[in-house]
Amino acid sequence: MKTRMNKEEVLAWMHGFEASRKVERALARKEPANPATSVALGLSLTEFARHCSAGELGRDRARDDDVRIVRERWAKLRRANKS
């Protein structure tokens, strides 16, 4: 497993996160954030980061567990709000 990034990889990674921040700011200007939107956006950014890292983030079991817990809690909150 590769543990170090070269300069070009770091710059590309930073560029990707800056691009996602620009999208987030544009969306926030169009529609003020609410809890549902915030959680959905956070989860989509997690998936985006995994995609950008070619799955490297998915190899961290603790992080996977954290994401699973967030998704489960979010689903539970959504079910409770529908009742």
pLDDT digits (tens, 9 = 90+) for 25-50: 888 888 876 888 788 888 888 888 77
**pLDDT the model gives residue 63:** 72
Domain layout of the chain by residue ranges: 7-82
pTM of the model: 0.37
**% of the chain residues with pLDDT over 70:** 84
Helices (H), 1-83: 7-30, 35-52, 61-82
**pLDDT the model gives residue 29:** 86
How sure is the predictor about 54, in pLDDT bands with cuts at 50, 70 and 90? Answer: low
Decide which of 12 and 60 is more confident: 12
